[in-house]
Amino acid sequence: MIAQPNASHFVNGAYVEDTAGAAFEVIYPGTGAVIAVLHEATEAVIEAALAGAAQAQRDWAARRPVERGRILARAAAIIRDRGEELARLETRDTGKPLQETRVADWPSGADALEYFAGLAPTVTGETVPLGRDFIYTIREPLGVCLGIGAWNYPSQIACWKAAPALALGNAMVFKPSELTPLGALKLAEILAEAGLPAGLFNVVQGRGAVGARLVSDARVAKVSLTGSVETGARVYAAAAAGMRHVTMELGGKSPLIVFDDASLEDAVGAAMLGNFYSSGQVCSNGTRVFVQAGIKPRFLDLLAERTAAIRAGDPLDPATQFGPLVSAAQRDKVLRYIDGAQAEGARLICGGGIGNAGGFFVEPTVFAEVTDTMTLARQEVFGPVMAVLEFDTEDEVVARANATQYGLAAGVFTADLARAHRVIAQLQAGTCWINAYNLTPVEAPFGGVKASGLGRENSRAAVEHYTQVKSVYVGLGPVEAPY
Ligand code: NDP
């Protein structure tokens, strides 16, 4: 039996329900069954969350960093102890196969809690000698941070935002996507069990309007959003009106470049991981697979063979490798992109339909003969649809890879490491891989350039985005006033 959250919100250390908020259903994408009915946050719930966070943050910031870290490390240990239960809940919330949720979602969240637990006590200011006088700096928390999550990695996103925020002395109010509201509630419950004082991590449910209400509240010092470019632009503008800090983790149309000296097996495997994992609902996916002309026929043959062997089915069956999309609406959107690609003249290599697994499935789909101007090469699909494009020269592929508004990620496969570094240096992307794809360990900064966002999550880089610097000039001599 899965211990599902028993109310819609988690505020001031406890589950809270307010049935005055509009009801919405949580649907298991594997079958379409309703697994919970929650309510959107009312003004009373939002007010309690913000007031509680502002109140709790002051005491929390005064604690020693090592104490804050100890609580986060305890939460990570609880997550690892309950790994199987949490993986099952994540699968029911998202439809992603158990094979993935056991190793990727909550485990990555636990990594973030452990990493920032350890990092917090090492965050110090600096001393700047000025001869007689000196300056010292203090890295202070920002205050109340707002986290807004997308539906593809709900628990990981909640952990990636909560871990640095809390470790560095902030409080957080988190609004999950209303499609996947359960994991963040579990995180709140686990943090409370680990000893996090009430009010420091609150979860409020709702659609975009609840997010918009939170973004413009005077008590919010920072907004960290994971979502689409369109939503990012709206949230960034609303945050700017109040001069709030932002981290924006947005969408992409990332290039994965395969030179003809690459290991074919590895390049095909990476292209599949970078398009079919989580049924393609990964922001950093390498959805424009540029393959050098000489290797392309063999690449497509092996790709088609391995894609045909992917095992789609019940996400809760441990043997299943490929699950449904998060919702019927997302499935229909992906199917429209598939129809459009065929209409624009791309060649369907495999997939293209819904298969016969039930739920909101779209088959793993590959198109070849995709050109740069086709919709499939320009817009983010957020589904299991790979576009294979052909190229001849290094200069050509760099120019084509960069010809997009996005800049989240990029990958290069080649045996020539000098070429790999040369190409990576020219690619406009925040997160890159050489002979690997979509690995995002907490030790690495993660984020995009251009329309794909700003700020970085994970790694030491996140410290800058959850703290601000106070500079203190210390005068040790007489004040020399000219009057
Ligand atoms: P959306 O941009 O639609 O929504 C993201 C979140 O913002 C949701 O919680 C949404 O609420 C909320 N929201 C919507 N409008 C507003 C508003 N005006 N003010 C405040 N909050 C608002 O993204 P999806 O959930 O559809 O996720 C898919 C997208 O996210 C893809 O485009 C993908 O590329 C991107 N993404 C980026 C990642 C990255 O790290 N770069 C990682 C994962 C996804 P609700 O959904 O309840 O309406």
Under 8 Å between Cβ of 32 and 360: yes
Q: Is 286 in the pocket of ligand 1 (CB under 6 A)?
A: no
351 in a known ligand binding site:
no
Q: Is 94 in the pocket of ligand 1 (CB under 6 A)?
A: no
Would you state the pLDDT for residue 355?
Answer: 87
| 227 alpha carbon – ligand 1 mean position (Å) | 3
Under 8 Å between Cβ of 317 and 96: no
**Among protein residues, the one whose CA lies closest to atom 37 of ligand 1:** 250
Tens digits of residue pLDDT in 416-431:
999 999 999 999 999 9
Given a cut of 90, whether residue 3 has pLDDT beyond it is no
Average pLDDT of the segment spanning 88-100: 98
Q: Is 381 in the pocket of ligand 1 (CB under 6 A)?
A: no
Residue 312 DSSP label? B
Q: Is 101 in the pocket of ligand 1 (CB under 6 A)?
A: no
Under 8 Å between Cβ of 424 and 412: yes
Atom number, ligand 1, closest to the C-alpha of residue 176: 9
Would you state the pLDDT for residue 1?
Answer: 42
| 297 alpha carbon – ligand 1 mean position (Å) | 37
* Per-residue pLDDT band at 59 (split at 50, 70, 90): very high
Task: Report how far residue 431's alpha carbon sits from residue 426's, in angstroms, rounded to the nearest whole number.
Answer: 13
Q: Is 382 in the pocket of ligand 1 (CB under 6 A)?
A: yes
**25 is annotated as an active-site residue:** no
**222 is annotated as an active-site residue:** no
Atom number, ligand 1, closest to the C-alpha of residue 177: 9
Backbone angles phi, psi at 27, to 5 degrees: -115, 135
Would you state the pLDDT for residue 357?
Answer: 76
140 in a known ligand binding site:
no
Residue 344 structure tokens: 């624009």
Average pLDDT of the segment spanning 321-344: 98
Inter-CA distances, 224 with 188, 248, 460, 461, Å: 17, 6, 17, 14
Tens digits of residue pLDDT in 11-35:
999 999 999 999 999 999 999 999 9
Given a cut of 60, whether residue 299 has pLDDT beyond it is yes
**161 is annotated as an active-site residue:** yes
CATH classification code of 9-250+452-470: 3.40.605.10
283 in a known ligand binding site:
yes
Atom number, ligand 1, closest to the C-alpha of residue 249: 41
Atom number, ligand 1, closest to the C-alpha of residue 235: 19
Task: Report how far residue 340's alpha carbon sits from residue 268's, in angstroms, rounded to the nearest whole number.
Answer: 25
CB atoms within 10 A of CB 202: 29
Cβ neighbourhood burial of 390 (10 Å; 0-12, 13-18, 19+): middle
**249 is annotated as an active-site residue:** yes
Q: Is 148 in the pocket of ligand 1 (CB under 6 A)?
A: yes
Average pLDDT of the segment spanning 277-300: 98
Q: Is 391 in the pocket of ligand 1 (CB under 6 A)?
A: no
**Among protein residues, the one whose CA lies closest to atom 4 of ligand 1:** 227
197 in a known ligand binding site:
no
Average pLDDT of the segment spanning 216-228: 98
Name the nearest CA neighbour of 141 among 114, 115, 164.
164
Domain boundaries, the chain: 9-250+452-470, 255-434
Average pLDDT of the segment spanning 246-265: 98
Would you state the pLDDT for residue 2?
Answer: 53
| Contacts with 482 (C-beta within 8 Å, 6 or more apart), sequence order | none
How is domain 255-434 classified at the architecture level of CATH? 3-Layer(aba) Sandwich (3.40)
Would you state the pLDDT for residue 221?
Answer: 98
Among the listed residues 96, 249, 253, 350, the single catalytic one is 249
The average confidence (pLDDT) of the chain is 97
Backbone angles phi, psi at 116, to 5 degrees: -75, -25
Task: Report how far residue 383's alpha carbon sits from residue 387's, in angstroms, rounded to the nearest whole number.
Answer: 12
| 152 alpha carbon – ligand 1 mean position (Å) | 9
Task: Report how far residue 174's alpha carbon sits from residue 183's, in angstroms, rounded to the nearest whole number.
Answer: 11
| Mutation to probe ligand 1, out of 105, 177, 235 (largest number of atoms < 8 A from CB) | 177
Atom number, ligand 1, closest to the C-alpha of residue 250: 41
160 in a known ligand binding site:
no
Task: Report how far residue 325's alpha carbon sits from residue 150's, in angstroms, rounded to the nearest whole number.
Answer: 14
| Mutation to probe ligand 1, out of 161, 231, 454 (largest number of atoms < 8 A from CB) | 231
The HSE-up count of residue 231 (CA atoms within 13 Å, CB side) is 21
| 287 alpha carbon – ligand 1 mean position (Å) | 19
Q: Is 227 in the pocket of ligand 1 (CB under 6 A)?
A: yes
- The edge-to-edge listing of strands for the beta sheet with 14-16 is 14-16, 9-11, 201-203, 171-175, 144-148, 220-226, 245-249, 453-454
Tens digits of residue pLDDT in 348-395:
999 999 988 789 999 999 999 999 999 999 999 999 999 999 999 999
| 228 alpha carbon – ligand 1 mean position (Å) | 5
| 74 alpha carbon – ligand 1 mean position (Å) | 30
Atom number, ligand 1, closest to the C-alpha of residue 234: 18
